[in-house]
């Protein structure tokens, strides 16, 4: 399809109500015309996690507002768009439904094509929007709810090379922060604390002794708990320096596991690039290690800007445009799917991040 496509995207699978307008040029390059994210953090803060019912109600209240704002910021009317793309899963079902229902209403009223997008495909295709990456490339998706290696072969072709069998790394960072009385979200707090470490604690590197690209992070959390309790028993509290050494030890262990498994994933089959997405990809120490792995493998390393690494609707609009080019369309029977593996042929994992809902 050698023509410009303008797609409105909607995302509401966890705690961000988002809408965006993206244009895919005839040359295949993407341009973000607007990118609206209405965060719900304040609504969930008191509960220590996302409350699905509260999230669903907030999405239902705000999604049309996000759409209106996205169209206004793009300077377009709905009729100027070529399609409406919406996250149809995986995620918290109430939120996904709010988005899907809104998109169906817009499609029915405007007559525009409706395209259901897998949220993980949105993350996985982002480097094509930001950097025009060519297929195939390796994607490491590391967030609070997910951790997996995907070989991205086409807008609709993903092979899962491995992933976590228990916690996602972001979840582990958040729990470690809680154990050490650091603020949430834990990732940035643990990273900052680790910077002052003088003698990082040596912690285990789970599953490195096993072949393949699967990972495990829940044991590391227990190791941190033991180290903390030992410190409290020895010092009658948690001295600042000890806390820093624990943070650095934990971060070093996550770094080494992600780096070694990335090395193996890159060795499995040739790829044009190594890309990362997800909130954990914001971590400077992890990013540097992954960049080194890419360099050693002789492929470019691509990390989209952070706002496009975390949940947003621009990635959904873009993935919708890619599907549209392939000729995919959905209709008003489009279903919301709380579980929807990208690689339907892969063996189901024992767990793919217990928090699961947020991808």
Residues lying near ligand KG4 in the complex (CB under 6 A) are found at 143-145, 170, 173-174, 185-188, 191, 278-280, 282-283, 310-311, 358
State the nearest-atom distance from the C-beta of 121 to ligand KG4, in Å.
15
Backbone phi and psi for residue 17, each to the nearest 5 degrees, phi listed first: -95, 115
Q: Which does 173 bind (CB under 5 to 8 A by kind): ligand KG4, Zn ion, none?
A: ligand KG4
Whichever of 250 and 318 has its CB closer to Zn ion, that residue is: 318
State the nearest-atom distance from the C-beta of 145 to Zn ion, in Å.
7
Asked if residue 359 binds Zn ion (CB under 5 A), the reply is: yes
State the nearest-atom distance from the C-beta of 95 to Zn ion, in Å.
12
State the nearest-atom distance from the C-beta of 127 to ligand KG4, in Å.
15
Asked if residue 147 binds Zn ion (CB under 5 A), the reply is: no
Query: In this chain, which of 171, 311, 322, 330 binds Zn ion, going by CB under 5 A?
Result: 311
Q: Which does 280 bind (CB under 5 to 8 A by kind): Zn ion, ligand KG4, none?
A: ligand KG4
State the nearest-atom distance from the C-beta of 311 to Zn ion, in Å.
4
Backbone phi and psi for residue 3, each to the nearest 5 degrees, phi listed first: -150, 160
Comparing CA positions, the residue from 189, 165, 192, 167 lying closest to residue 177 is 189
Q: Which does 191 bind (CB under 5 to 8 A by kind): Zn ion, ligand KG4, none?
A: ligand KG4
Whichever of 59 and 243 has its CB closer to Zn ion, that residue is: 59
Q: Where on the chain is the footprint of Zn ion (CB under 5 A)? A: 311, 359
């Amino acid at each position: 399809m050698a023509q410009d496509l303008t797609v409105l995207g909607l995302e509401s699978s966890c705690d961000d109500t988002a809408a965006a307008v993206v244009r895919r040029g005839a040359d295949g390059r993407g341009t973000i015309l607007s990118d609206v994210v209405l965060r719900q953090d304040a609504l969930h803060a008191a509960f220590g996690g996302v409350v699905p019912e509260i999230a669903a109600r907030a999405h239902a209240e705000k999604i049309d507002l996000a759409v209106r704002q996205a169209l206004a910021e793009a300077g377009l009317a709905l009729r100027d768009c070529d399609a409406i793309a919406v996250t149809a899963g995986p995620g918290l079902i109430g939120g996904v439904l709010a988005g899907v229902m809104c998109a169906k209403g817009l499609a029915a009223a405007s007559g525009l094509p409706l395209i259901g997008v897998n949220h993980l495909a949105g993350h996985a295709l982002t480097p094509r929007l930001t950097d025009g990456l060519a297929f195939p490339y390796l994607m490491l998706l590391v967030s609070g709810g997910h951790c997996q290696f995907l070989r991205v072969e086409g807008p609709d072709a993903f092979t899962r090379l491995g992933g976590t069998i228990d916690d996602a790394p972001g979840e582990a960072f958040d729990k470690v922060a809680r154990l050490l009385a650091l603020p949430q979200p834990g990732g940035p707090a643990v990273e900052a604390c680790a910077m002052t470490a003088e003698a990082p604690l040596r912690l285990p590197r789970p599953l490195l002794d096993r072949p393949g690209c699967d990972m495990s992070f829940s044991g590391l959390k227990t190791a941190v708990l033991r180290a903390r309790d030992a410190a409290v028993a020895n010092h009658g509290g948690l001295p600042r320096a000890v806390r820093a050494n624990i943070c650095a030890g934990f971060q070093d262990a996550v770094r080494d596991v992600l780096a070694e498994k990335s090395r193996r994933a890159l060795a499995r089959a040739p790829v044009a690039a190594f890309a990362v997405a997800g909130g954990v990809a914001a971590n400077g120490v992890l990013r540097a290690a992954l960049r080194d792995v890419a360099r050693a493998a002789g492929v470019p390393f691509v990390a989209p800007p952070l706002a496009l690494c975390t949940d947003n609707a621009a990635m959904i609009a873009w993935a919708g445009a890619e599907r549209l080019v392939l000729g995919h369309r959905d209709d008003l029977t489009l279903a919301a799917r709380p579980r929807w593996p990208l690689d339907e042929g892969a063996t189901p994992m024992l767990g793919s991040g217990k928090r699961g809902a947020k991808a």
